Structure 1
């Protein structure tokens, strides 16, 4: 089922032919864009992490909420349109494949805000819900 994402106000739609923000070699439309528009589901916890990073980069709030575990998902999400996500580095993964029900992804996400560079480092926990990977929260 195709979904039209709600974008962060002031953030233009990301071109399907543009490089994918997640850092993989495929263009956005053939990479994370497939997941964002509902044409496919992320097959691993790492791919879900990459697609969620890309959703932050393109301002796709609906996708972020849709891929967040119902047990930990906030009722709403407001993204700061001034933040420009500039790169993702996957540092380590555990589990999270087709053979697992849980997984973690340790990552570093770089951003730019008000002319200053910053980074977010997190070890995220993922689980399967109804056969699909979902983000649970920061791993303990």
Structure 2
């Protein structure tokens, strides 16, 4: 196996938005991206109260982190998305869907939480990526 395989097996719900299984071959470099919120380089929260704007910024921050390790969103094996309970999930997913979309989409785990470490943050996105060297 020379590349990461993302699998959507029969018997599990079919979705264009996510895969169910990912197989990373030996020799790949694994990259872990810690939780990204909608903060600028100075740590200021962007889009207070606006989950769609915060979602877009959190994805942009994840892209910056991936690029620092030589990866892109196409190399992501799994996304984890935490939403503060009560936010408009359709607006949040609508804002991040273009970044997550792919012919072979990554695995996605989403969860609602009571709060996040950054005051006012409505979403936090982390990722695991792998690249072949």
Question: TM-score over 0.5 for the alignment?
Answer: no
Larger Rg: 2
Which TM-score band applies after superposition, normalised by the shorter structure? under 0.3
Q: Which TM-score applies when normalising by structure 1?
A: 0.25
Greater RCO (CA < 8 Å, at least 6 residues apart): 2
Comparing both structures, which one devotes a greater share of its residues to helix? Answer: 2
